[in-house]
Amino acid sequence: MDTFSNLFTTLRNAQLRKVKKVSVPYSQDTWKILFILEKEGYIEGCQIVSFAESLFKKTMEEKNTVRYQKHFPSLQKKILFQNSNAYKRIIVLLKYNYIGYNGNSVIRGIQKISKPGGRVYVSQKKLEQYTLQNTLATYILHTSKGILCDRDAKALNVGGELICSIF
């Protein structure tokens, strides 16, 4: 599963369960998409958290690494791996409209348009056609200027790969 699908599925499942916070794996692209979602008002916020330090301390306490490193050199590689950026996560604060007892999610739907098996590229003119068909949706594009929402792409007069629509 690609990172975008993982992100959208996690957000969708969390909102179905009415969860306030959710954790997703860190990548620069997911961080940029979440930044756009925050700017457009679909989520309350997001924050990068690193778990490498706590995991490193936990393994040092649980196992006597000096003794195990002699006999198991792969353990040393594991500890070095834990200090890398692989354990960065993003904590996302989801947004709800609280009217009455139950809260409704601000994000009504997330639809992935460009998939690994079939990429969808749009020009600036074609992007205008997409936005005229569904004026309430926000489209996210991967352009030469970076990951942008449809309004920013129109302002910069660029097209690109259409990642998803959010409504």
pLDDT digits (tens, 9 = 90+) for 67-100: 445 444 444 444 444 445 557 889 999 988 876 5
Match domain 108-167 to its CATH number in 3.40.50.2000, 3.90.1150.10, 3.30.1490.10, 3.30.70.360.
3.30.1490.10
Residues 6+ apart with CB under 8 A from 142: 29, 114, 160, 161, 163
**In the chain, what are the domain boundaries?**
1-107, 108-167
Query: Token pair 């490498």 is at which residue?
Result: 52
pLDDT in tens, 130-160: 777 777 889 999 999 999 999 999 999 999 9
Residue 37 and residue 63 in contact, taking contact as beta carbons nearer than 8 Å: no
Q: What tens digit of pLDDT does each residue of 90-130 get? A: 999 998 887 655 678 888 889 899 888 889 999 988 888 87
**H or E stretch at 117:** none
Name the CATH code of domain 1-107 (choices 2.40.30.10, 3.30.2310.20, 3.30.1370.30, 1.20.1250.20). Answer: 3.30.1370.30
pTM, rounded to two decimals: 0.74
Euclidean distance between CA atoms 65 and 81, whole angstroms: 15
The pLDDT of residue 147 is: 94
Is the pLDDT reported for residue 31 higher than 90? yes
Task: Give the CB-side neighbour count of residue 84, counting CA atoms within 13 A.
Answer: 6
Residue 138, phi then psi, degrees to nearest 5: -110, 125
pLDDT above 90 (res 34): yes
